[in-house]
Amino acid sequence: MGIEVGSDQLRVMHGAISGNVLSVYDFAAEEILISNPENVPQQLESLVGRKRLDSHPVGLTLSGPGVVHRLLEFPSMPASELAVVVEREMRLVGGGAGEDVVFDWEVIEEKAAANLKEVRVLVAIAPKSQVGRAQELLARCRLKPALFTTPPIALLRSLGFVQGEGKGLHAVVHMVGQQGCLLGVKDGVWSFYREFSSRAAERGVDALLEEAVREANRALLYHRQRYREGGEAGFLLSGEKGLEELQIRLQRETGAHGEIVRPGPGVDLSPLRERENIFRDLFPAFLIPLGLVAGAYLPAGINLVPKAVRKTVRKRPSIDLSFIRRPGLGVALVLVFLSIQLVLVFTERYYRGLLAQRTALYGQWVPAIQASEESRVLRENERLLKQAIDPNRGGGKSWMVLLKAVSRLAPPELLLSSMSVRRDKDKGVWLVTLKGQVVSADSYAAQAAFNRFYQGLKGSPHFEGIELLPLEISTLAEGVERQVSKEAAGGPGDGAVQSRQEAPEIRKTKVQFELRAQSRGI
């Protein structure tokens, strides 16, 4: 949104750039009711509130005696180095290092002089206090700043959307109230700038026209001296009123042609609907707000808004719908869309049918898959069990034969507590380990019983390499309980009482043994 705060009028324009087209959505112009500057924020806030434009970022112009422009020329250099050079130049030349100012710059032209490439830099300088007042004005109206620039720069931005703008020499004359300015432009590039106003004793449109004609004569002389081969300069007239009379006087007194600015092909007024013709008539007065809207969308340019509070504005995506006006292209496009739709529909149906077939096939195979999974788990369990059993079992039924042989040799007093059979693959034999004990009331009888068992193993054809580990001989005591019944004192009919008596302990000898042997199997 572009806002121009003049000496006697407020002008507001809401627009947006999409592609290379600037669309105008709304506009308003109001006379400033009271000349007191304190009342301007209230009137602006009321105007923006009625138009419901308070949510859009704002572009604003800064003008006055403290706002100046400078044209500088430097050799071509990278942008980072150029920024340092311009800043140093402004600190030295642009008012002194002690002055509190804000400045920004942009490269407006690159040219080659002899063997040296040069760049022309335009610098805009404004007092920091004036920038602060502009921020306070927008803050009181609850608006966000996107662009602070100067009136001539806004005029320069608007030339791209003016009818008849092109290559050549132009002088833009802009008159608002009692103030006016003249901007010289060559091939769309800033050339020079002058300001003028009506004298205090000669207030009115005629006095301002006299100053405008005088400045136009000076501009023609400047153009003829500097651009001798460039042809005659033309004038573009903009402002509030008196443009037709200025056009006549320029033609009569200078012989130059003056053209009142009109919307160019890059301006779309269709969103205004019934107000489109009204804006066409008022277009010369809205040239600065138009330039503010256009300048807010530039990625680089002079912008005096502090970066900390600057609201970034981006171009809207543009869609060219001009083909709709051509019936042949429209029908072809509709056919293409229908073809794509049919392809998508049939493709979806095909894959839906394929998905249904796969689902049914999967349902048929689910029981077989589950049975296969259960069988796999069972085989895995059997394999793990076999791995656990194989190292500790004999081949075939050999362990049963060995157990029978041991049982035949064991005396009655012998208790076999464990028997393990393990395969030694390196030697090709079975390793047998026997653990047990012999318990007898007589120590000699226990040792004799074990000796018979040991001798029987040594003479058995099933065992070889018998190794006897040290015996453990111990004595244990066992007590035997005995029950005795006694009659009660009242006689035999009164019942009997049972009591327990322990017999003397019986001592027995226990011989614990461990044998290791080898077997070739059967």
| Domain membership flag for residue 114 | no
**495 within domain boundaries:** no
Decide which of 358, 377, 392 is a domain's last residue: 392
Residue 117 within any structural domain of the chain: no
**pLDDT bracket for residue 324 (50, 70, 90):** low
pLDDT in tens, 197-248: 876 445 666 788 888 888 888 888 888 787 776 667 788 888 888 888 888 8
What pLDDT shows up at residue 196? 86
CATH assignment at residue 303: 3.30.420.40
The answer to whether residues 245 and 130 belong to one domain is no
Give the total number of structural domains in the chain: 4
| Whether residues 139 and 10 fall in one domain | yes
Residues 306-311, mean pLDDT to the nearest whole number: 82
pLDDT digits (tens, 9 = 90+) for 144-183: 888 888 988 988 888 888 866 555 667 888 888 788 888 8
Inside any domain, residue 112: no
Q: Do 41 and 149 belong to one domain?
A: yes
166/168 Cα distance (integer angstroms)? 7
Which range among 285-299, 317-331, 342-356 shows the weakest confidence by mean pLDDT? 317-331
Domain that holds residue 84: 1-105+122-163+263-319
Q: Tell whether 368 is covered by a domain.
A: yes
One domain, residues 308 and 426? no
Angle at CA 69, nearest 5°, toward 68 and 74? 145
Average pLDDT, the chain: 81
Q: Are residues 217 and 278 in the same domain?
A: no
In a domain, 110, yes or no: no
Whether 67 has a pLDDT exceeding 70, the answer reads yes
User: Last residue of a domain, which of 210, 245, 260?
Assistant: 260
More confident residue, 204 or 41: 41
Q: What CA–CA distance (Å, rounded) separates 240 from 176? A: 6
Contact criterion met (CB below 8 Å) for 93 and 123: no
Q: Are residues 145 and 53 in the same domain?
A: yes
Same domain, 181 and 228: yes
Predicted pLDDT at 414: 87
pLDDT of residue 226: 79
What sign for the dihedral angle of Cα 39, 40, 45, 50?
Answer: positive
Does 338 fall in a domain?
yes
Contacts (Cβ under 8 Å, ≥6 apart) of 27: 11, 12, 13, 14, 272, 275, 279, 282, 286, 289
Whether the CB-CB separation of 56 and 142 falls below 8 Å is answered with no
- Could you count the other beta carbons within 10 Å of the beta carbon of residue 380? 10
| Stretch among 380-389, 405-414, 415-424, 489-498 having the lowest mean pLDDT | 489-498
Each residue of 243-292: pLDDT tens digit? 888 888 888 888 888 888 888 888 888 888 888 889 888 888 888 898 88
What angle do the packed helices 398-409 and 443-459 form, to 10 degrees? Answer: 140
How sure is the predictor about 492, in pLDDT bands with cuts at 50, 70 and 90? low
Tell me which residue of 173, 261, 185, 178 sits closest to 217, measured CA to CA: 173
287 with 156, same domain: the answer is yes
List, in sequence order, every beta strand (DSSP E) within 266-352.
267-268
Tokens of 317: 């995506």
Higher per-residue pLDDT: 12 or 198: 12
Are residues 70 and 2 both part of a single domain? yes
Residue 347 confidence class, pLDDT cut points 50, 70, 90? very high
**418 pLDDT above the threshold of 50:** yes
> In this structure, what CATH number is given to the domain that contains residue 447?
3.30.70
> Is position 111 within any domain?
no
Question: Which residue, 226, 245, 260, sits at the end of a domain?
Answer: 260
User: What sign does the CA torsion over 43, 46, 50, 55 have?
Assistant: positive
Cβ neighbours of residue 432 under 8 Å, at least 6 residues apart? 402, 419, 420, 421, 463, 516, 517, 518, 519
Segment 493-499 shows an average pLDDT of 52
Name the token pair of 474.
């111990």
Question: 373 vs 243, 267, 362, 369, 381, CA distance in Å?
Answer: 95, 74, 15, 6, 12
User: Are 291 and 241 in the same domain?
Assistant: no
For residues 140 and 282, state if they share a domain: yes
Least confident interval from 59-73, 138-152, 168-182, 433-447: 168-182
For residue 486, the model assigns a pLDDT of: 53
**What's residue 97's pLDDT?**
43
pLDDT at residue 341 in the model:
93
Q: Which one-letter amino acid corresponds to residue 498? A: Q
Helix, strand, coil % over all residues of the chain, rounded to 5: 40, 30, 25
Pair (6, 78) in one structural domain = yes
pTM for the model stands at: 0.59
